[in-house]
Amino acid sequence: MSYAFEHVHLKSPDPEKTANWYVKAFEFEIYNDHGVRPQGDRFIECKTTDGTIIRISSARTSDSMGQGDASVHYGIEHFGIIVDDLDSELIRLQELGAKLLEAPSGGPPGPRIAFIEAPDAVRIEVMQLP
């Protein structure tokens, strides 16, 4: 049997605001806004520039949501984004409201990486490859 990665799903109290942040921050494309579905959640589908699907939705009527957690933790802890210039991207992302969690580290011969907190306490690794 073969498998393929299909999507990442982010939960947000304001999916439209969150989706628009990712559009500005990483050039996501909003390709489908389902509005509010019968189960009570606002549901928006985006794609990254390389085609990865990112779904963003609010709580369903029956959901009791816990808080987001941008700290290091078990489970899905972060996702990574490659950039051309880490330093300038970190400045730009912070101007968009991201919080720097871990300053840049690494470097030649390997990648330079940093971690930010995006809206809804999402932890993102921002990396510049050699």
* CA end-to-end span of the chain: 35
* Structural contact between residues 47 and 29, judged by C-beta atoms closer than 8 angstroms: yes
Q: What is the mean pLDDT of the chain?
A: 96
Amino acid letter, 100: L
**Structure confidence by residue, pLDDT tens digits, 59-82:** 999 999 999 999 999 999 999 999
* Structural contact between residues 37 and 78, judged by C-beta atoms closer than 8 angstroms: no
Task: Supply the pLDDT for residue 113.
Answer: 98
- Name the token pair of 84: 């051309």
Would you say residue 107 has pLDDT above 90?
Answer: no
0.85 surpassed by pTM: yes
* Structural contact between residues 56 and 18, judged by C-beta atoms closer than 8 angstroms: yes
**In 3D, which of 78, 119, 126 has the Cα closest to residue 99?**
119
**Structure confidence by residue, pLDDT tens digits, 19-57:** 999 999 999 999 999 999 999 999 999 999 999 999 999
Task: Report all structural domains of the chain as residue ranges with CATH numbers, in order of start.
Answer: 7-57 (3.30.720.120), 79-128 (3.10.180.10)
